[in-house]
Structure 1
Amino acid sequence: MSAPDWRFDASRPAPARRYDALLGGKDNLAPDRDSAEQIREQLPSVGKAAAELRWFLQRVVHFLADDCGVRQFIDIGCGMPFTPSVHEIVQTVSPDSVVVYVDPDEMVAVHSRAMLVSHPDGAIRFVEGGLDDIDTVLSDPQVRGLIDFTQPVAVLLLAVLHFVDDDQHAAHALNRIIQALPAGSYLAVSHVTFDPLPADQARRLSKLAEPGSGHGPFRARSHAQISALLDGLDLMPPGLVSAVDWYPHRHPQPQIKAEEAVAYGVVARIPATTGPGADGAPA
């Protein structure tokens, strides 16, 4: 299956702009708002769910920077800039932290390069790309010039894997990332699921992702399907759980229940047997 093309197209919705629309932002176009409204008709909590994914990101990033001591981050599928951004969170913990933002959307690139400003002791970069060209991203000179792949790295795949509807494509991208990271690195994932929903509601939502529906590729996955993609990684407690059940007492605290959030979240650690060179793969 060919990878989705997320180059700028004002005539169709794009994930980053639609997410912005769901959050009530202004960096979106009419097709993004129309798509968001059609989703909202089938899932009235989708706006709250989008906000919860952002709050999950904040809890995860602070956990990785503060509790795990990570100082290097790669945020793949970063979406439109927001506050607090990943670098603002991690550089509050340690000002010398570095962050690479990655997204295939040209509108995201324009906004990110104009708006994102690093702490002077740290550094940030923006690279155009995504999971469909992950080898190019990982070998990009800007990435290699900023990220030290001999030291732990945290890769963020937050609200991005569900836009890869082919399981083999998703697994390949994950494997390439894992092979490039040194042992002791981390992978953070959030992923939409229809597990908590009634079957008829899940079917209606799935129809919105069918080819020709006009919403673009999308694949909600079950707990078992997401677990299969993470096979071989060490899942940090509490494991793969609803995004609202991942350290819910940390700030910002969740405001809705799992059946409204419709997303799983997890932080996984790269064990010593899967880092660069473990299977003869290049770093």
Structure 2
Amino acid sequence: MDVPSGRDLEVDLQTGRAHGARIYDYVLGGKDNYARDRAAAEAAMSTFPTLQISMRSNRAFMHRVGRFLAAERGIRQFLDIGTGIPTSPNLHEVVQAVAPSARIVYTDNDPIVLAHARALMKSTPEGRTTYVQSDLREPDAILAAPQLTATLDLTEPVGLLAIAVVHFIDDEDEAHRVVRRLLDAVPSGSYFAMSTATGDFDPAGTATVERAYRERGEVLKHRTKAQVERFFDGWELLEPGVVQVHKWRPDDFATALVKNDSDVALLGGVARKP
């Protein structure tokens, strides 16, 4: 596991504003969050009480995607953009259970993720994991990071994941620019998995979630199905297409978790680069 040195841990945790990764952590029952994160989460859940179901469904979507790409599509290297605070099982645990030699690069812009990276993201002896402290809005910095270039071979297919992260970019043009830069960097045969917030199924409830985030300093942008599908332009979208995350190749857990579609406010899909 490669992480920056101890000196790099002396960073501003920005506890004066809410951060999406820490809100997510609190809603899922974690302890790596602060007052502003908890306030945003509680405000959101007060009017959208199934937020935890939505987030758990998203986490399970990531697990199914990772397992599918490793087991059914033979992907052996992964780039996880906006990984969030580590919560087992993490992506590397899922894919290395299938392929112990798999290599995974994690990225996030929350300094608290860096503080936990060494302890929680440990690879199998045959594989490798590494962490890049970076922002999705700077894809060139991600791609040029020495941790990435030493771990992944971008001439071979990559599983690129952007799970519940693009909704933290408000501007539509910027969101497409950064995603397209990452998509252009991986070769034919690569896969792109994305999930992002939507207001399609409970507009009133999700609007209160967006407001709770924004009032405490964190962007949250809900997108329609048509807007999400645009991110996959030029790639071969796999069945069942862009759907609510619990409906993407569901297993028994996904089916049991969600009782009503309006409980889940995230869309997801997976596509292959031709």
TM-score w.r.t. length of structure 1: 0.89
Residue type at the aligned position of 2:117: S
Q: What does residue 165 of structure 2 align with?
A: 160
**Alpha-carbon distance between aligned partners in 1 of 2:229 and 2:256, rounded to the nearest angstrom:** 23
**Alpha-carbon distance between aligned partners in 1 of 2:114 and 2:221, rounded to the nearest angstrom:** 25
* 1:162-241 equivalences in 2 (<5 Å): 162-197=167-202, 199-208=203-212, 210=214, 213-241=215-243
1:74–1:155 Cα contact (<8 Å) kept: yes
Q: What does residue 60 of structure 2 align with?
A: 55
1:235–1:269 Cα contact (<8 Å) kept: yes
Residue type at the aligned position of 1:131: L
1:20–1:28 Cα contact (<8 Å) kept: yes
1:52–1:255 Cα contact (<8 Å) kept: yes
Alignment of 1:11 with 2:16, yes or no, is yes
Which one of 80, 89, 96 corresponds to residue 84 of structure 1?
Answer: 89
How large is the Cα RMSD of the aligned pairs? Answer: 1.6
Provide structure 2 residue ranges, at least 5 long, that are not aligned to the other structure: 1-10
**CA displacement at 1:112 relative to structure 2:** 1.2
**Alpha-carbon distance between aligned partners in 1 of 2:87 and 2:210, rounded to the nearest angstrom:** 29
Residue type at the aligned position of 2:181: R
1:243–1:258 Cα contact (<8 Å) kept: no
* 1:1-283 equivalences in 2 (<5 Å): 8-197=13-202, 199-208=203-212, 210=214, 213-249=215-251, 253=255, 255-256=257-258, 257-271=260-274
**Alpha-carbon distance between aligned partners in 1 of 2:110 and 2:211, rounded to the nearest angstrom:** 24
Which has the larger displacement, 16-25 or 256-265? 256-265
**Alpha-carbon distance between aligned partners in 1 of 2:61 and 2:256, rounded to the nearest angstrom:** 8
Which has the larger displacement, 67-76 or 108-117? 108-117
**Alpha-carbon distance between aligned partners in 2 of 1:259 and 1:76, rounded to the nearest angstrom:** 27
2:162–2:194 Cα contact (<8 Å) kept: yes
**Alpha-carbon distance between aligned partners in 2 of 1:103 and 1:179, rounded to the nearest angstrom:** 20
**Alpha-carbon distance between aligned partners in 2 of 1:29 and 1:206, rounded to the nearest angstrom:** 19
2:158–2:190 Cα contact (<8 Å) kept: yes
Corresponding residue SS for 2:154: coil
**CA displacement at 1:238 relative to structure 2:** 0.8
1:118 and 1:129, CA in 2 relative to 1: closer, same or farther beyond 3 A?
same
1:244–1:254 Cα contact (<8 Å) kept: no
1:205 and 1:92, CA in 2 relative to 1: closer, same or farther beyond 3 A?
closer
TM-score w.r.t. length of structure 2: 0.91
1:203 and 1:30, CA in 2 relative to 1: closer, same or farther beyond 3 A?
closer
Corresponding residue SS for 1:132: coil
1:96–1:123 Cα contact (<8 Å) kept: yes
Q: Which runs of 4+ in 1 moved over 3 A?
A: 199-210, 250-254
**Alpha-carbon distance between aligned partners in 1 of 2:256 and 2:60, rounded to the nearest angstrom:** 7
**CA displacement at 1:217 relative to structure 2:** 1.0
1:218 and 1:130, CA in 2 relative to 1: closer, same or farther beyond 3 A?
same
**Alpha-carbon distance between aligned partners in 1 of 2:116 and 2:228, rounded to the nearest angstrom:** 31
2:57–2:254 Cα contact (<8 Å) kept: no
2:206–2:265 Cα contact (<8 Å) kept: no
**Alpha-carbon distance between aligned partners in 1 of 2:84 and 2:250, rounded to the nearest angstrom:** 24
Corresponding residue SS for 1:268: strand
Corresponding residue SS for 1:169: helix
Residue type at the aligned position of 2:250: P
User: CA deviation digits over 1:256-280, x for unaligned, max 9?
Assistant: 1321011111001112xxxxxxxxx
**CA displacement at 1:200 relative to structure 2:** 3.7
